Amino acid sequence: MNLFIQAWDYLTTSANWSGPTGIATRLGEHLWYSLLAVVLSAALAVPIGMVIGHTRRGSAAIVGFANAMRALPTLGLLTFLVLGLGLGLIPPLLALITVGIPPLLAGAYAGVANVDSHVVDASRAMGMTERQILLRVELPNALPILLTGLRATTLQVVATATIAAYVNLGGLGRYIFDGIGLYKYDRVLVGAILVAALALTLDGLLAWAVWASAPGTGRLRSQSPSKQNH
């Protein structure tokens, strides 16, 4: 119980939130690493998943690839990358991308592949090109599943981004690694609490996005300012 009291005291002391090593700075660094990893993961995984979901070709390969990436030990991979590339942002970023790609890849593929075939056939009958069908028909209908994949990716990347501190970068992982090194386990608890709070906050926002994006509900339109003003 004393450990929790010490962690609470640290979190509620305003001086600990400011400065170059304060909580606000560490939180910003953690968000930056996570954002970079999620954006790069999405840029790689979403187009590939959408194309495979649209063509229905290569689905077995994509499942095997996603499972293989999930099996990679992140810390071991990071160590290997540091030995090959040296210290800096690139090794942890590459390690985080291996965590972020599988859920996005699976979400993009499953979302597009599960669009009603009658809707797709009707679009072709109207003379739409395959590109138009993918972007204008399948993507809007696949959005909830795609965002669910983004939600899973975000949670995993935020939780794993603590490894940046392992290679002398910042982020909330600094509290965990420094706390272990200095035998200050209340700092370890502070880091764990902050990571969990950040993950839950982002998860709540993305859960709302999944709910609002459900096709046919008009929820996104009902939330727009122009709708509310009329």
Q: How many CB atoms lie within 10 A of CB 223?
A: 11
Query: Beta-carbon neighbour count of residue 38 at 10 Å?
Result: 23
Contact call for residues 143 and 213 (beta carbons, < 8 A): yes
29-65 confidence digits (pLDDT tens): 999 999 999 999 999 999 999 999 998 888 788 778 8
Q: Please name the residue that has the structure tokens 């690139």.
A: 90
Contacting residues for 58 by C-beta, under 8 A, at least 6 apart: 52
Q: Which residues of 11-23 are buried (b: 16+ CB within 10 A; e: fewer)?
A: beeeeeeeeeeeb
Q: What pLDDT is stored for residue 230 in this prediction?
A: 45
58: left (phi over 0), alpha (psi -120 to 50) or beta: left
Confidence of residue 92 (pLDDT cuts 50, 70, 90): very high
Low-confidence winner among 62-71, 114-123, 174-183 (lowest mean pLDDT) = 62-71
Rounded (5°) CA angle 150-155-159: 145
Domain locations in the chain? 2-222
Written as one letter, the residue type at 49 is G
Q: Which of 139, 120, 159 is nearest to 34 (CA)?
A: 159
User: How far is C-alpha 173 from the geometric centre of its chain's CA atoms?
Assistant: 17
User: Could you tell me the pTM of the whole model?
Assistant: 0.87
167-198 pLDDT, tens digit each: 889 999 999 999 999 999 999 999 999 999 99
- Return the pLDDT at 222: 53
Fold of 2-222: MetI-like fold (1.10.3720)
- With a pLDDT cut of 70, the percent of the chain lying above it is 93
